[in-house]
Structure 1
């Protein structure tokens, strides 16, 4: 029963944080292609690890991640207003590079297929 509740809370946090980043943050350093890939809250709901995927070059990623870390207090306050929980978790924002890693693996597989077709 507790795992079911934790999953619902994580998904609700993910939805609201994504909405806040997309609509409410006015920092010009935040690029347009930011997505929240995962949110994992601790059992006592004191902390939540927010995994962010940013599309762009390395400089844009670094600036956007820094801007999001700086605005984590604002995001936490907005989450507290939108979701009724006893404690609003402190947000730990980290970069998630799994999408880029998957695209790299996919390109390697395509190269192998192309070289295999060329050798036939």
Structure 2
């Protein structure tokens, strides 16, 4: 498959997955306001998709959300197949992505340093 088609499929899967998580999954363990699809990597033959999910919250909330997504994987895959109109939907692999959480932590540390500099100048 061409690299361009692979990228288009990745973007489309990301868009559809975000909508499915927000609107269709009714699991109370998933708080859609703290869950975001950060990246989708699709295999060359579209048989497999690795989905990076960012969950804001503590470790327990992240694990609970990832377990709920794993449990709903079959449902998500069937809805995804209907939305993107492919004969064989890719097998989904969810991975926890901590990049947003890491960025928020670094921003707060930098803000703390900035406040320390202001207090030292006074």
Report the TM-score, using the length of structure 2 for normalisation: 0.89
Q: What is aligned with 2:14? A: 14
Distance in 1 separating the partners of 2:104 and 2:26 = 30
| Corresponding position of 2:41 | 40
Cα contact 1:31–1:60 (8 A) shared by 2 = no
User: Helix, strand or coil for the counterpart of 1:87?
Assistant: coil
Partner of 1:49: 50
SS in 2 for 1:56: coil
Question: In structure 2, how many angstroms separate the alpha carbons of the residues matched to 1:105 and 1:28?
Answer: 30
Structure 1: runs of 5 or more not aligned: none
Superposition RMSD in Å: 1.5
Match of 2:79 in 1: 78
Following superposition, the deviation at residue 45 of structure 1 comes to: 0.7
Aligned counterparts of 2:112 and 2:64: Cα–Cα separation in 1: 32
Kindly tell me the number of residue pairs found equivalent between the two proteins: 120
Quote the Cα distance in structure 1 between the aligned partners of 2:8 and 2:120.
51
| Structure 2: gaps of 5 or more residues | none
Alpha-carbon shift at residue 35 of structure 1 (Å): 1.1
Partners in 2 of 1:17 and 1:25 — Cα distance? 10
Determine if contact 2:81/2:87 at 8 Å carries over to the other structure: no
Q: Stretches of 4+ moved more than 4 A in 1?
A: none
8 Å contact 2:11–2:40 — kept in the other structure? yes
Quote the Cα distance in structure 2 between the aligned partners of 1:25 and 1:88.
Answer: 18
**TM-score, length-normalised on structure 1?**
0.91
- Give 1:119 shift: 2.3
Offset of residue 117 of structure 1: 2.5
Further displaced range: 31-40 or 70-79: 31-40
